[in-house]
Each structure stands twice: as C-alpha cells, then as structure tokens.
C-alpha cells in the first residue's frame, strides 16, 4: 500500500526570517508583488519537507502489533509513503490505521490525500517501477521502456543536447540503472556534465558518450531488463561462487578458474605484440600493462559466462564471480567499471554487458605477485617452455600436490627479474653453442673430463669470437656467462663444473690478455688550469665566468671542504684566504710555487 500527503509543500510553514523574500512593494509605481511559488514549493523545499516527512515516518514506525513488536516497516520518499507487510491476521488494517494516524497527527486532518491512497495488493507501482511480491521481481512499465528508447535514439543521432533534453535522458535511463546493476557505471558517466550544466548551455554528444548510448540501446532491448529478481538488489554474497586468478605479460594472458579447475591462456598475435612494443617506445596507444591485466578477465567471461549462468537454475540468487589481479589499477577499473583509458573503457562496457546477459555479479581484489605464480607463468608461456611447469597441476581444497612442478619453476626464479633475464640470455648462448656442436645442453651421459673439455671449448670460442657476435669478449664477461649457465644447471639438479682447476687456470690466462682498465676521473685540475690560462681576468665578464667555473669545480669535488695537491712525497692542504676568493693551481710534473689569483 502507498500513501500520499495532500499539498505537501503547503503544509511547510515559512520561517519568519524568510517570509519577506516572497513579497515586495514598489512605492513609486504603487505595485504590490506576491510570489506565487511560495505555496507550491521553492528551491530546496523537498529538503525542508523531509523534516516533516521524517516525522510522519517516525510516528508511523513506532507503532507495533503482535507480528511487528519492534515497529512497522515503512519507506518514504519526500511525500510518498510505502508500506509492506505480510497478509496475516490484521496486519494490513493495523498498518493502514497507523499511517492515517501519523499523517493527521503531524499535519492535520486535511493532510491525507485519499485519492492517492492505494489498496493492498501483491503487485504495486512504486516510484515508477512495478513490484511483484509473488514473483519477487521488479520491472519497468512498457511505456517507460519505450520512452527511454526514444530518448536514447534521439540523443545518439544529434550533436548536442539542451539542458531539458539532457535531464530527461538521465531521468529515463535512471530507472534502468535501478533495475540493472551493471548499468550504473554507464549512468555515472552520463552524469559527468550535470554539475557544470547551466540554464542555456548545451551538452556536446562526444564519441565516448555515443558509445555509452549504444550500450543503453542494447540494454533497453534486452529481456534481462524486466522482471529482475529482487535478490539482485542485495549486497554481494560474502563468499564468492567462482574465484579466478588472472595475469598478463608482454607475451600473453592467463585466467585460472580455481573453483572449477579450468585454465585459459592466450598468446598475443604479431599485431598485438607490435602494440606492446609501440607502447613501450612511445606510450601513446593505451596498450599498457594495466589494460592488459584487465583484458585477462575478458576471455574467461566470454567463454565461461554461459556455463556459469547455468548454475543459476539451482540457486535463487546471482552468481558472484571474484577476480584476483596483481595490478591495483586493473582492480580499481574492474570494481568501478570505469577508466580513462579508451581501450579499457570499451572492455568495461563489454564486462557490463556480459554481467547483465548472464546474470552475474563480479568483484575484484589485489593479489601479491609472489602469490600469483601460476597465472604469471601462464601469461609467459610464449616466452619459454619452462613456464609450462606450473600448469601440470590444479590444487583441490585440502589436497597436497605430490610432485615438485612448482618447486621446479621457483628455483630458477629465485633471483631478481633483471638477473633472471641476464641468466636466460647466457643460457641461450650456451644452448646455441651446444646445438652447433651436436651436444646435449645439459651434458647428460658425459664424464667429468668430457664436460670440462666442452666447457673449455665454449670459453675459448667466446674469447675468440664472442659467442657468435664476431668480437672477442673479456674474462669477466665470460665468467658472468658461466655463472648464468650454472644457475640453471643447479636449478635442475645438474652440475656445471666451472670450479674445476682447468677452467680456473683458463680464465686466469684469458684475463692476462685483457687490456688494463682505464679509470677516467670525473674531474681534473689540469682542465681547470688550462681554462684559467686562457682567460683574461682584467675584464669583469671574464672574472664572473672564472668565478662560476671555480664554484662548479668545487661543487663537483667529492670532498669540497679541502683541495688536495699531490707533491713528490707528501700532500699539502690549501685553505681559502679570508676575505678573498683564491685559486690554487699546481703542476705535478715540476715543483714550483703555487700561483694565487685574487679576484676583486
């Protein structure tokens, strides 16, 4: 049952401090002004009436009976009051009598609008929506749907909207967003211009807005818009029905349905790999890692949405799908279904559509990188075959995996990502060399003497030809390459004998042929002296330049408090002369007096 207050705003008294604003007098013209908006409600009057409406709701809610010992349930929106109760005994009569009493007690006997008091029914139209208490569903009236379609179509085929047309569009699609939860992010995007909209301004229909209107057009023609179960309006279930772990890399995507033990991997096409490379070079195409992390949710939605929706037949509530993503930006985009990235926004519209089509509710949370090992390996399958190891198993609750596939993956990755990349490059050099020699990369079935012999040949080949680059490399570079290869041998339980005396002696002999390391000091006093002798300090501008050079020189020194001059047997420390700026220059080739140049 619904009840309405007659002439609601006329019942709101005008405060004595405000009543003068509703009338006026022009003495010269003998004109008396009466503002007729006063009895019909002025700007902000719903807020003032809310005090009265809240008093009515409170007086009605404190009444009790046997079925409702804690008070009657009632909902009010400005001057409309909605009552819901079970048809048992005298509940309906008690609730209606309490509603009449509350209105008359607060506003008087004339406050009850009998024409708008409806009778008790299992189906009722409340706030322009049709509620069915038997089917437990909410629907939009047919005329409202047709009106929304007309407004969306008109807005899509125009270039700009007036203030009235814009607000009519928002009010119409607002009813759809009430029934369809995935439509709410689209409504929020349409409302972005509402706060800055003035009376005679127009709203430009942008390309992004047209894309949202196209989404609304599809939603208004979907059968899922009407007869929405009331359980869809509840909060998310505390425990998700489906948990999905996702990850993305520069090589592909991965989504793991851990609840149903289902894995989906996707390898980027050459065109998508070019997009990744272009973004890393310029950063202008939006194909960043945040978008790719969000993109990893889409394939599983598209392929498993129908399978998930079949579970709704056995439950009376929507299915809650929870995504665990190791990217905070993607988590935010997934929860809000909004992003400034154009590519991500297109994907958000698709996620909203699939959520409405398959009657799903989804959420996302952050998972640390160290806990997202399997999904990370799945996204990198295209880069190396070793990433396939974590996919040899899918754990069930309470089940302990008997093999060591996960440990096999974690051992090579026990170092930092940058170090792992360098070690991988070293392993590729070794694999290329053994392939040319017709050997197994892991030297299986060979004696220690043969293994050392092949490693020595690999070292000498690198020393002479640079492992295929055509240029010789130094001893430290060869040693770093050997350590990278040894890392993977140790991770696989094999031995790479670079600690053998023969190899030690070979590396020591190679280092004897390395050119000596030349260390160029970051600063030389000879350079400053040469500049000093080329300047003529008789001119003021030259003196200023010399002062700047001195300041720069002392600033670049590691220890700028003192200047050390090396003599043949000892060091002398030259301090600045009080009251003057000095330069101390020395020549190590010949001992002579220190020339001091005083700048005035």
Residues 6+ apart with CB under 8 A from 328: 366
* Mean pLDDT for the stretch of residues 61-82: 82
Q: Tell me which of 214 and 186 has the higher pLDDT.
A: 214
CA angle 494, 500, 505 (to 5 degrees): 145
What are the residue ranges of helices labelled H in 16-67?
A: 37-40, 45-61
In three-state secondary structure terms, 597 is coil
Residue 391 is given by DSSP the state G
* Predicted confidence (pLDDT) at residue 440 exceeds the cutoff of 90: no
* Predicted confidence (pLDDT) at residue 64 exceeds the cutoff of 60: yes
pLDDT 10s digits, 524-553: 677 778 888 888 888 888 888 888 888 877
Q: Name the average pLDDT for the chain.
A: 76
Cα(462)–Cα(455) distance, integer angstroms = 11
The domains of the chain, with CATH numbers, are 1-120 (no CATH), 139-233 (no CATH), 243-403 (3.30.420), 417-513 (1.10.150), 525-596 (no CATH)
Q: Tell me which of 503 and 239 has the higher pLDDT.
A: 503
- Is the pTM value of this prediction over 0.85? no
> Torsions phi, psi of 186, nearest 5?
-65, -35
Kindly state the tokens that stand for 276. Answer: 């990744």
Per-residue confidence (pLDDT) for residue 362, from 0 to 100: 83
Residue 231 pLDDT grade (very low, low, confident, very high; cuts 50, 70, 90): low
pLDDT 10s digits, 501-521: 889 898 888 888 877 766 555
Strands 360-366 and 319-325: parallel
Identify the sign of the CA torsion 168, 171, 177, 179: negative
Residue 557 pLDDT grade (very low, low, confident, very high; cuts 50, 70, 90): low
pLDDT 10s digits, 167-207: 888 888 887 787 777 788 888 888 877 776 777 788 888 88
Per-residue confidence (pLDDT) for residue 566, from 0 to 100: 38
Long-range contacts of 52-55 (CB under 8 A, 24+ apart): 52/8, 52/11, 52/12, 52/106, 52/107, 53/5, 53/8, 53/78, 53/79, 53/81, 55/106
* Predicted confidence (pLDDT) at residue 483 exceeds the cutoff of 60: yes
Cα(64)–Cα(91) distance, integer angstroms = 10
Most distant CA pair in the chain, distance: 122
Which secondary-structure segment (H or E) carries 364?
A: strand 360-366
In three-state secondary structure terms, 149 is helix
CA angle 300, 224, 147 (to 5 degrees): 130
Per-residue confidence (pLDDT) for residue 325, from 0 to 100: 93
Cα(223)–Cα(228) distance, integer angstroms = 10
Residue 577 is given by DSSP the state P
Kindly state the tokens that stand for 485. Answer: 């290869």
Long-range contacts of 534-538 (CB under 8 A, 24+ apart): 537/597, 537/599
Closest by CA to 140, choosing from 181, 170, 178, is: 178
pLDDT 10s digits, 260-309: 878 888 889 989 988 988 988 887 788 999 999 999 888 877 777 777 77
Q: What share of the chain is helix, strand, coil (3-state, %, to 5)?
A: 50, 15, 35
**HSE on the CB side for 592, CA within 13 Å?**
7
Residue 556 pLDDT grade (very low, low, confident, very high; cuts 50, 70, 90): low
Query: For the ranges 14-18, 248-252, 274-278, which has the lowest average pLDDT?
Result: 14-18
Tell me the CA distances in angstroms from 316 to 41, 122, 136, 177, 471, one per residue in order: 45, 20, 11, 21, 71
SS3 track for 168-212: HHHHHHHHHHHHCHHHHHHHHHHHHHCCCCCCCCEEECCHHHHHH
Cα(312)–Cα(228) distance, integer angstroms = 13
Which secondary-structure segment (H or E) carries 556?
A: helix 540-556
* Mean pLDDT for the stretch of residues 345-366: 85
Cα 265 to its chain centre, rounded Å, is: 21
Residue 586 pLDDT grade (very low, low, confident, very high; cuts 50, 70, 90): very low
In three-state secondary structure terms, 29 is coil
Residues 6+ apart with CB under 8 A from 50: 78
Tell me the CA distances in angstroms from 5 to 126, 274, 464, one per residue in order: 15, 66, 98
Strands 2-4 and 80-83: antiparallel
The β-bridge partners of 566 are 571
Strands 584-585 and 595-596: antiparallel
């Amino acid at each position: 049952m619904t009840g309405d207050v007659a002439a609601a705003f006329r019942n709101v008294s005008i405060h004595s401090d405000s009543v003068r604003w509703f009338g006026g007098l022009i003495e010269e013209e003998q004109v008396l002004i009466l503002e007729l908006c006063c009895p019909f409600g002025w700007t902000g009057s719903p807020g003032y009436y809310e005090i009265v409406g809240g008093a009515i709701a409170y007086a009605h809610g404190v009444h009790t009976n046997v079925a409702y010992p804690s008070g009657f349930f009632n909902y009010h929106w400005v001057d409309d009051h909605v009552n819901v109760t079970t048809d048992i005994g005298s509940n309906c009569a008690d609730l209606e009598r309490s509603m009449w009493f509350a209105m008359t007690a607060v506003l008087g006997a004339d406050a009850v609008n009998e024409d708008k008091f409806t009778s008790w029914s299992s189906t009722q139209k409340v706030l322009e929506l049709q509620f069915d208490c038997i089917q437990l569903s909410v629907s939009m009236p047919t005329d409202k749907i047709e009106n929304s379609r007309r407004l969306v179509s008109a807005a899509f085929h125009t270039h700009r909207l007036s203030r009235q047309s814009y607000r009519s569009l928002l009010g119409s699609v607002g009813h759809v967003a009430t029934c369809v939860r995935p439509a709410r992010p689209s409504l929020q995007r349409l409302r972005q211009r509402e706060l800055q909209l003035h009376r005679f301004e127009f709203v430009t229909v942008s390309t992004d807005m047209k894309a949202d209107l196209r989404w609304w057009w599809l939603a208004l023609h979907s059968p899922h818009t009407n007869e929405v179960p009331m359980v869809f309006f509840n909060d998310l279930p505390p425990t998700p029905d489906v948990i999905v772990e996702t990850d993305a890399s520069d090589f592909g995507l991965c989504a793991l349905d851990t609840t149903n033990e289902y894995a989906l991997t996707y390898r980027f096409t050459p065109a998508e790999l070019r997009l990744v490379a272009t973004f890393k070079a310029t950063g202008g195409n939006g194909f960043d890692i945040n978008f790719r992390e969000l993109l990893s949710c889409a394939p599983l939605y598209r392929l498993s949405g129908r399978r998930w929706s079949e579970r709704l037949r056995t439950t009376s509530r929507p299915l809650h799908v929870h995504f665990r993503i190791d990217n905070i930006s993607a988590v935010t985009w997934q929860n809000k279904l909004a992003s400034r990235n154009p590519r991500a926004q297109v994907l958000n519209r698709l996620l909203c559509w699939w959520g409405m089509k398959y009657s799903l509710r989804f959420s996302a949370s952050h998972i640390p990188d160290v806990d997202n090992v399997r999904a990370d390996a799945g996204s990198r399958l295209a880069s190396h075959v070793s990433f396939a190891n974590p996919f040899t198993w899918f754990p069930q609750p309470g089940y302990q995996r008997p093999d060591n596939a996960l440990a096999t993956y974690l051992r090579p990755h026990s170092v930092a990502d940058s170090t792992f990349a360098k070690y991988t490059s070293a392993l590729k050099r070794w694999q290329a060399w053994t392939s040319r020699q017709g050997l197994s990369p892991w030297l299986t079935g060979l004696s220690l003497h043969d293994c050392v012999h092949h490693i020595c040949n690999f070292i000498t080949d690198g020393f002479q030809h640079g492992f295929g680059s055509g240029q010789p490399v130094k001893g430290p570079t060869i040693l770093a390459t050997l350590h990278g290869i040894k890392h993977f041998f140790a991770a696989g339980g094999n031995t790479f004998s670079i600690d053998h005396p023969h190899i030690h002696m070979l590396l020591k002999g190679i280092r004897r042929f390395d050119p000596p390391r030349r260390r160029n000091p970051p600063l030389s006093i000879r350079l400053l002296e040469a500049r000093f002798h080329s300047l003529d300090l008789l001119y003021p501008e030259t003196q200023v330049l010399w002062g700047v050079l001195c300041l720069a020189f002392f600033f670049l020194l590691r220890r700028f408090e003192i200047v050390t001059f090396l003599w043949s047997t000892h060091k002398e420390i030259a301090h600045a002369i009080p009251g003057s700026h000095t330069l101390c220059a020395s020549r190590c080739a010949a001992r002579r007096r220190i020339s001091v140049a005083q700048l005035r």
